[in-house]
Chains A and B, each alone.
Chain A
Amino acid sequence: MSVIAPKFKLSEFIKSLLDNIFWIMLIVVLVGLPAIMMILFVIEMPVIDGELLTPFLAFTWMADPTRILPVVHAFMATDIFKVIAFPGFGFAALLAAGTIFVERKMLAKLQLRVGPFYCGKFEGILQLMGDGLKLISKEIIIPAKADKPIFWAAPVLFVAAAASFVAFIPVAPGWVVADVELGLLGVFAVIGFFPIITILSAWSANSKFPFIGGIRALFQMVSFEIPLILSLLGVVMLTGSLNLSEIAASQSVFPWIVFLPVGAIVFFITMLAELERIPFDLPEAESEIVAGWLTELSGMMYGLVQLGTYLKLYAFAGLFVVLFLGGWNGPMVVPPFPAELLTGVEMGPVTIGPFPGLPLFDQAMLNGTFWFVLKTAGVIFFILLPRGVFPRIRVDMLLNLGWSKLIGLAFVNIFIALGLLYAGVLGPGGLQ
C-alpha cells in the first residue's frame, strides 16, 4: 500500500473520473453545442460542392473520414506539424522522457535497488509526470543579486538551443524539420551556443558555486568542440556533403562506422563530455560545487534545463546514428499499406472507402523511423551506461584528454578517411 495516499482507492478514483466526464458531456451538450449552432446560424455560410454548408453538414463532415483525412494529410505536410509533433519537439520530448525512465530503471537494476516504483501502477512509469508536476508547482527563487533578465532567459534559451539542435536531425527520408544544405555546419553552430548560455546562466546568478561550475562547463565544452568537429570531417570527406539527409542516404549499403571506427569512438567520447554525462559531469559535481551551474536554478527553471539536457542527449544520439550508424537505413520490416483501403472494401452490401488521403505515412517513412529509433535507443543506452561504472574525472585530466589524446585520434581518423579516398576504395556517394 502506498504511504503517500493511504486512503487511495482505484474504484473511487475511476468513479470521480467518470463523474467529471459526465458533467463535461452534459455541459457541452446543453451549453456548448447550442452556442456553436447559434453562431453558425448568424454568420453567412458558404456553398461547397453545390450544397449550402449548414451547421449540421459541418458537424457531419468532422466524423466523415473521407472528408477529414485529406485535411489531416495536408496538415501533416505543413512545417508547423514537423516542428511541433513528429520529427521535431514532440517526438524528441517523448524519446527524452523514455530515456529518463530507462535511465532510472536500468541504473537501479545495476545498483541493487528497484528505482521508481509507486508512481503509476506499472513500475513507476508515471514518476516523470509526478516530478514534472512537482517542479511546476514549486516556487521559483531568484538570488537577490542576480542579473534577473539574463537569469530568467538562460533556461529558456537552453531549451531553445536544444530544440533547434533537434530540428537538424533527419528521422526518415524527407522527414526533417530543417533540411539545409550545410546542415552539419548548422549543428556545429548550435552546439557552439551551449557554452555561451551556460556561462550566462552561471555568471548572472552571482553566486560562487554556479560561477565555478559555469567556468568548468566552458572549459569542457569549448575544448571538446574541436575534437568533435574534427572527428566528423572524415565522414564529410567520404560523403562529399554537409547535408545530414544526404549523409544518411549515402550509407544505404554500409554504415560509416565500419570504415571510420576511430572517428566514431572520438565522437562518442566528446559527445559524453558535451552532454555533461558521467564521467564528464564536472560542471555539476555535487560533492565539490553543490550542483555546479544549476545550483541557483529552482522550480521549473531547473526543469527546463533538464528538459533541454535530455533533448540534447537525444539529438546527439540521433547525430551519431545519422553520421556513423546509417541513419534510417535498414531492412524493410514494415508491411505495406493494405491496398484494399485505398480502393474501398466491400463488406457485404456496404462498400467502405475509398479513403482519399490515405496512407498517412508511407512505408519507407515508417520503416526509416523504426530503424532510426532502434539505433538511437541503442546509442542512448551506451550513453547512459558509464554512469553506473565510472567515477567523475578531474578538470586537468579532462583537458589533457580533450586537447592531446582526442585531437590526435581525430587526425588519425582524418588520415584514414583520406587514405580510403585516395586509394579509390571509397568516394563521395559510397563504394566506388
Chain B
Amino acid sequence: MTFNLPSGLALQKVDERIMTLNVGPQHPGSGHMRIIVQIDGDYIVACDPDPGYVHRGEEKMAEYRNYITNIPHLERPVIHDSCNVLYPYVLGAEELLGIEVPERAKYVRVIASELNRCIYIMYWLAIYGIFLGHSTMFMWPAGDRELLIDLMEKMTGARVTHAHFVPGGVRNDLPPNFEDVCLRQVNYFEKRIKEYAAIFYDNPILIARTRDTGVLSRQDAIRYGTTGSVLRASGVDYDLRVKEPYDVYDELDVHTNVMKEGDSYARSKIPWLDMLESCNIIRQALQKMPKSGSVRVKLKPNPKTKGLESVYKRVESGRGSLGCYIVSDGKVEPYRVKLSVPSFRNLIALPNLLKGEKLGNMPSVYWSLNYWPVEADR
C-alpha cells in the first residue's frame, strides 16, 4: 500500500549522510505540530515546519453565531491569553455596532489584558525552561502563575477561559476590594519574577547556550513580518500599545523593551521584561481607574449592524500584534471573521533561523519565536 503524500510532506532520501527527523506531533519538544528537520551529523541542513494538527475552524464557526455568542469560542485558540485574543474582535464588534464603552470598563479591560499577558508569558516561559532541560524553570513559573490566575478567577469567575470581554465593556464589575488584592498580588509577583534572573537569565550555561544562536537580523525580522517579542528582540521599536494605542493605553505610560541582538537569548528575555512592564501598567491603571461607574452597555438581544461594512482592529497580545478583520452584511451573524495571528507570522522565520544550527539549538530557537501552535492553526 502506497500513499501519495503532498510534496512538502514526502520524506525523500537526499543523501546517505543526511537523516530526516520527524520532530512531532508526538514528541516532547514540538507542541501540537511537526517540524521535519534534516540533519547532517549534528547540523540542521533543512527544516520544514508543518502546522495544522489542531485546526478547529474557529473562523468558519464565527459565521454561524451572533456577535455575543462568538465570544466563548473565539478565545479558544490561546486559552492562556484569552482576553488578548478576544480584544480585537470585541473592539471591532463595538465599532460595527456603534457602542461607546464606559471609562471604567476600559480600565478593567486593560488590567485584565495585562494580567492575562503575564499568565501567558509565564506558561510560555515554563515550557521554554523545560525545553532547555531546566526543570526548576518549568515549576516556578507554573507555580507563580497561580497568583495571577487567582486574581483572574476573582475578576471573571473562571481560571483560564474567562470570556470576560463583551461588546460594550466587560461582563462583570470588579469584586469589592479587588484593587487592594490585585496590587498586593502583583507586587509579590513582580518580586518573584525578578528572582528568575538569578536562576535563569543570568545562568552562565543558559547564556552560553542561547547567545548567538538563531540570530534574526533587523532587516529579516521586518521582511518576514515577525511581530511582538521577536521583532523587538531584533531591535525594532514596535509595540501597538504605544504605536496605535487602543482603549486607555494612550493615558498610561507604556515603556517598550527593545534588544538589539536578535538571538534566542534576547527573544527569551524580552517577554520577561514585558512582564515587569505589565506590572507597571497594572499599577498605573489601578491608580487612574474611576472608582465607580458602569462597566457595560446594555445590548439588545441579537444586535444587528447597520449594513455592509468591515472593520480591522489589532492589539498587542502576548505574542505580538493580533488582528481581527470582521465583515458584516447587516445580519445578526458576521459575514466573515478573520484572525490575523502573530504565531503564524513568527513561525515563518523558523526555517531560516534553524538552517545551519546545531540540533541541540532546535528547541530553544523554536520556542523563543513565541509561537503557539493552536493559535497558528485556529
Known: A286-B29, A287-B29, A397-B209. A212 touches B359 (CB 8 A): yes
Interface members, chain A 374-432 (any B CB < 8 Å):
387-397
- 0/1 per residue, B13-47, Cβ < 8 Å to A? 00000010100000111000000000000100000
Q: Which residues does chain B contribute within 8 Å of A279, judged by CB atoms?
A: 133, 205
**Which stretch in A7-15, A110-118, A324-332, A334-342 binds the other chain?**
A110-118
- Let me know if A262 is at the binding interface, CB within 8 A: no
B360 touches A113 (CB 8 A): no
B136: contacting residue among A212, A388, A392, CB under 8 A: A388
Known: A390-B134, A391-B133. A112 touches B143 (CB 8 A): yes
Shortest C-beta distance, B38 to chain A (Å), equals 12
- Let me know if A134 is at the binding interface, CB within 8 A: no
Known: A290-B27, A390-B203. A285 touches B140 (CB 8 A): no
A161–B91 Cα gap in the complex (Å)? 67
A112–B42 Cα gap in the complex (Å)? 36
- Let me know if A248 is at the binding interface, CB within 8 A: no
- Let me know if B135 is at the binding interface, CB within 8 A: yes
A-B pairs under 8 A by CB, number? 82
- Let me know if B197 is at the binding interface, CB within 8 A: no
A391 touches B132 (CB 8 A): yes
A387–B131 Cα gap in the complex (Å)? 14
Known: A112-B140, A395-B358. A288 touches B363 (CB 8 A): yes
A281–B134 Cα gap in the complex (Å)? 11
Which residue among A278, A279, A288, A394 has the maximum number of chain B CB atoms within 10 Å of its CB? A288
A282: contacting residue among B130, B137, B139, B360, CB under 8 A: B360
- 0/1 per residue, A285-298, Cβ < 8 Å to B? 11111100000000
Shortest C-beta distance, A160 to chain B (Å), equals 29
- Let me know if B90 is at the binding interface, CB within 8 A: no
B28: contacting residue among A212, A282, A286, A396, CB under 8 A: A286
Q: Which residue of B lies closest to A387 (CB)?
A: B135
Q: Which residue of B lies closest to A219 (CB)?
A: B42
Q: Which residue of A lies closest to B130 (CB)?
A: A287
- Let me know if A373 is at the binding interface, CB within 8 A: no
A278–B28 Cα gap in the complex (Å)? 17
A287 touches B28 (CB 8 A): yes
Shortest C-beta distance, A7 to chain B (Å), equals 30
A212–B41 Cα gap in the complex (Å)? 9
Binding site for B on A (CB under 8 A): 107, 110-113, 208-209, 212, 278-279, 281-282, 285-290, 387-397
Binding site for A on B (CB under 8 A): 19, 21, 27-29, 42, 129-140, 143-144, 199, 203, 205-206, 208-209, 358-363
A-B contact pairs, 12 of them (CB 8 A): A111-B136, A113-B143, A278-B135, A287-B131, A287-B133, A288-B359, A389-B136, A390-B205, A392-B132, A392-B209, A394-B358, A395-B360
